[in-house]
Amino acid sequence: MTVPTVFIVDDDPGMRSSLSILMETTRLKADCFASAEEFLSVCGPHQEGCLLLDVRMPGMSGPDLQEELARRNVRLPIIFLTAYADLPTGVEAMKQGAVDFLTKPINGELLLQRVQVAFEIDRLQRESEVARHLFESRLLKLTNREREVLTLALTGMGNKEISTHLKVSLRTIEGHRSRIYLKIGVSSLIELSQQAVDAGVNLAQAISSLCDATT
C-alpha cells in the first residue's frame, strides 16, 4: 500500500524544515521542494497525499503551479500557505479547488487537521476514479447493437418499442438486454443507472462517446 505524502513546496528553507518536522511529529511522511519547478520534475498523477504550497515564490508561483497541475491531471489536494493576506488570490485558489488558504505564521494544530481533510479528499477522489474506470471498462464490453439498445432503453422505451424501432423481434431485444445486464453486472436498468451515478459517469454521454468512437 502506498503511504500518502505531504508534499511541501516553499522557497523558504526554514519554513520547509519546520513544516517537515511538524508532519513527522504525527508520523506523516513529508517531502520538501524549494520551487514549483523542482516539484513538477518529479510529480505525476500517481502521487498520493496532499500539497502544502507557498503562494509567492521566485519563478513559478503557487497559483501557477496549481494551474499546471490541473493541466497535467494531477489532482493532489492543495493547501496554500502565504505570508500575505491576499483575499482575491485566496478566493481564486479556492474556486480552483484548493482545500484551504492559510496565513503564516501557521497554526500547527489547524494545519494538521486540514492535512487530514486533504488526505481524505484524495482517498475519495482516487476511489471514485477507480470506480469510474471499472464501470467504463464494462461498457466497453458491449457490442454496438447492445449500446444502441441501452441508449433507447435510457430514453424510457420498453422492449416492445425498441424492437419496433430497430425492426427486430422482441425476443432479440430481450436477449440484448440480458447480455447488457450480465456484462455490466446488474439485474435491472435502475441498478445500472445507479452504478453509473456512483461511478460519476453520465451514462448517456458515455455510451454516445463509445458509439462515436466505433463509427
Q: What is the mean pLDDT of each run of 10 residues along the chain (215 residues)?
A: 88 96 94 96 90 94 94 93 78 85 91 96 91 90 93 93 95 95 93 90 83 59
Q: What is the reported pLDDT for 182?
A: 94
Task: Indicate whether 11 and 92 sit together in one domain.
Answer: yes
Cβ–Cβ under 8 Å, residues 19 and 9: no
Beta-ladder partners of 51: 7, 78
Mark which of 82, 110, 130 sits at the end of a domain: 130
CATH code of the domain in which 42 resides:
3.40.50.2300
Res 215: pLDDT = 52
In the prediction, which pLDDT does 213 show?
59
Domain limits for position 51? 5-130
As for how many domains the chain has, the answer is 2
User: What pLDDT score was predicted for residue 96?
Assistant: 83
Q: Given this model, what pLDDT does residue 212 score?
A: 63
The residue among 104, 130, 156 that closes a domain is 130
Examine the fold and report which residue of 101, 130, 159 is the final residue of a domain before the chain moves on. Answer: 130
Asked if residue 167 and residue 126 are part of one domain, the reply reads no
- Average of per-residue pLDDT values in the chain: 91
| Whether 78 and 48 share a structural domain | yes
pTM (two decimals): 0.76
